[in-house]
Structure 1
Amino acid sequence: MMQELRLVLIVLGALVIAALIIHGLWSSRKERPEKFGDKPLGKLKGEKQEDSTESFDDDGIGAVRVIKGGTDKPEAKQRKEPGLSFDESSESDIDPLFADFKDDIDTAVPSNNAATAESNTLGEVTDAVEVSSEVVTDPLPEEEVETAAPEPKQQVLIVNVQASANSDFNGVDLMNSLEQNGMIHGEMDIFHRHADLSGTGKVLFSAANMYNPGSFPMENISQFTTEGISFFMTLPCYGDPEHNFKLMLQTAQKVADQLGGLVTDDARNLMTPQRLDGYRDQVKSFSEPA
């Protein structure tokens, strides 16, 4: 769009200049015959003869010329050279053929100035746009994106308390032992150990029936029996995982002692020091900061 506007302005300017030149040449040609044709040739010759006869008397002696001090010099007639003229006399003699050009010239010159100013303004805007586009297209420094370390996969630690061979845990005795060790019956119909002993805090670990469906029927707890229960906690967990696991292991051991049971691992094998070390290693992997 800018290129087309500039081209139109250049063409208009060229037309205005051509009109001015044509007008000047036409006026110059018209003035030349008028300047030299005002006085006829015969009149010029007569005036020259009168001047020559008036310079001599009857005896043929010409008038004595008195030479003055030379201070007063006759004013030299200003010689008027034929050339381009734009005065009122020339304008009055303009050929009607070029009358339209005169009107166009008078109106086109100011519009040319306005168009030139507009072109300059548009040119500045274009330059500003080009500069801004260059700034925008400059490659921006890449921001360093800190990639968060992937969270460790959730794990479940299970410690079982099983009744001795050929025996079961009674429901009432089991419920009393769990409640004495801070376990509260709650969601999913199982027991939970909360961070707050009142049962309003976060759950640290839970205890469920070792056999399906895993719940404790509290409405018929006196008739309920089971061969074992499972203590379990999830990692990651609320609070300190090592402290929570230690508390769960102590609770399982107390319940086993009170009910005459055995503490076993997640595979229902007797707990050994080596298996305890394996549990602790799992817990430490969640305790260490990422």
Structure 2
Amino acid sequence: MENLQLVLLLIGAIAIIAVLVHGFWSIRKQQPKGYKQGAMADISRERRDADGFDYDGIGEVRVIKANSMDAAAIPEHEPKVSVAEEVDNSFELSQEPQAKVSKTRVEPSLSAEAPGSTNEELPLQASLFATEEQVEELAAAVVEPTPTQESVTKVTQEEELADPRDVLVLHVVAKDGEELNGAELLPCLLTLNFKFGEMNIFHRHEDNAGTGKVLFSMANMVKPGVFDPDSMEQFTTQGVVLFMTLPCHGDALMNFSIMLNSAHQIADDLDGVLLDGGRDEWLESTKQDYIQRIRAQI
């Protein structure tokens, strides 16, 4: 009896499964072919407007064959360059030499000499500036630079001066049997705002930073009268000469005061002696003499 019930249940289950399978098969067979592409395809077609764009502004995908493109559709402003021309142009660019910029550091020439000087080894007394006329020649060269020097000078910023009518000269010399040491002289000059420049000598400019017009200058008393800043540690000399021309840039009395104070400072720092243009002892009367010479030119 129990076996009969099991057989009937099994037959009923098989019959139910067969009915379900037949029902699904019938429904599938009756569906239209367009529906088989998926519901999303119908939705996307229904959401497009008359121009073929959907709600997101995306149009239908169009496939254009390469051989069907019209050459006239290419914008006129785009140049038509062949592959051969591109290769030639790239080759020409690769053949252009690259400009090489060389940076050369200009060193002050030790061969530059003051006017009327030589590089010959002379006795000490003969190699000193014997007269004030030699200093005047050097001062004239500073006021009227050579064409080479004019090319590196901003002439447009400089006021033209009349020809020098007088030159005020001061000497700072070492005491008997001694010499002025370059290792002590250079820091003193930097403190006094001197700047190494044209003619290979030091200059005092309007601005303490070493710019502006030259107020007065300082040269080596020993021929050829120049300095070499790179060898100041080994440099020695019997003296230096400070000079300014009249007329000058700015206030002449003020410029002379600065030059005189600088000479006093150099003499104090290097334990030297201040002398006038003729290498005589500097006196108060000599100072008044120089002031009168300045006022005569104003």
1 or 2, which has the higher helix percentage? 1
From the CA coordinates, give the structure whose radius of gyration is larger.
Answer: 1
